[in-house]
Amino acid sequence: MSKRSTSEQVPKDMQVRFDEITQLMNTFSQTYLNEEYASLCRQVAATLCRKRPSPLSQGKAATWACGIIHAIGMVNFLYDASQTPLVASSQIAGYFNLGMSTMQTKSRQIRDLLGMYQMDPDWTLPSKMDNNLLAWMIQVNGIAIDARYASREIQEEASVKG
C-alpha cells in the first residue's frame, strides 16, 4: 500500500508555481514520454509543494521540472535501453538547457527529500508495478517472500497490515 498521496492538490500560495513547473513537465512528457510519466511527475511536484517550507518556492521552474523528470526516470529505469519509453539523461538536461550536473544535483535533492530509490513502489509507474519485485515483498518470520506466492492467509494478513 502506497505511503504517499497521489493527489495533485497544492496549497493556494503554491498553485502558480505548481502550474508553471507542471506546464514544463507536461510539454516534455507529451514529446518524449507519456501521460503516465506526466501524471507521476505532477504528483511529485504536488508533494513538494505541500512540504513546509516548500523547496519549489526557490530556484528556477525549469530546473525543478528537469530534476523531477530525472528523479522519476531514475526510479523507473527511463535510461535503460530495454525500457519504453527510453530517454537519455543528456536529452532531458538539453531540453531544459541545463548542465548534467545541475540536473543530477536537483534530482538527488528531490530523491532525498522524498526518500525515492530505484524500483521504489511508491513512485513506480502503475504499468510497471506488476514487474516491481519490491512492491510485492513482505516479511514472514524474518524471511522476505513474494506476497503473490504466499498462502491466502498470509496475503490477507499482509493486506490488513498494509
Is 30 in the same domain as 75? Answer: yes
Cβ-based neighbours of 10, under 8 Å, separated by 6 or more: 18, 46, 49, 50
Q: Is the dihedral of CA 44, 45, 50, 53 positive or negative?
A: positive
pTM as predicted: 0.81
Cis ω for the linkage preceding 53 (within 30 of 0): yes
pLDDT of residue 1: 38
The parent domain of residue 145 ranges over 132-161
For residue 18, tell me if it sits in a domain. Answer: yes
pLDDT tens series, the chain, 162 aa: 346 667 889 999 999 999 999 999 999 999 999 999 999 999 999 999 999 999 999 999 999 999 999 999 999 989 988 888 999 999 999 999 999 999 999 999 999 999 998 888 888 887 776 665 555 555 666 776 665 556 777 667 766 766
Cβ-based neighbours of 47, under 8 Å, separated by 6 or more: 4, 5, 114
pLDDT of residue 28: 98
pLDDT of residue 95: 98
Is 27 in the same domain as 104? Answer: yes
Q: Is the dihedral of CA 38, 19, 109, 97 positive or negative?
A: positive
Count of domains forming the chain: 2
For residue 64, tell me if it sits in a domain. Answer: yes
